[in-house]
């Protein structure tokens, strides 16, 4: 099954969804790999159509008094 876009381009939904699924799997695997850089995550997210917004927060130690 093919669909024509408004611009006349032919789309193949099954193939397009399959490719998106592959990209999402690679993105998910990269998220689980501690060696993945932020740049790599950003590129993989963009390939999936995801706007990756990252924020860093400093953790502070909580001191407990006896």
The pLDDT tens digits of the residues spanning 27-64 come to: 999 999 999 999 999 999 999 999 998 888 998 887 67
What is the rounded average pLDDT of the residues 19-23? 93
pLDDT of residue 14: 76
Q: How many CB atoms within 10 Å of residue 47?
A: 15
Where is pLDDT greater, at 66 or 18? 18
pLDDT of residue 7: 63
C-alpha span between 29 and 54 (Å, rounded) = 18
Tracing tokens 């193939």 back to the chain, one arrives at 15
| Spatial contact of 2 and 10, defined as CB atoms under 8 Å apart | yes
pTM: 0.64
pLDDT of residue 17: 87
| Spatial contact of 23 and 50, defined as CB atoms under 8 Å apart | no
């Amino acid at each position: 099954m093919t669909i024509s876009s408004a611009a006349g381009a032919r789309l193949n939904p099954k193939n397009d969804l399959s490719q998106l699924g592959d990209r999402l799997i690679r993105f998910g695997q990269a998220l689980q790999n501690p060696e993945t850089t932020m740049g790599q995550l950003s590129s993989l997210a963009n390939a999936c159509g995801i706007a990756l917004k990252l924020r860093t927060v400093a953790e502070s130690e909580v001191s407990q008094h006896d």
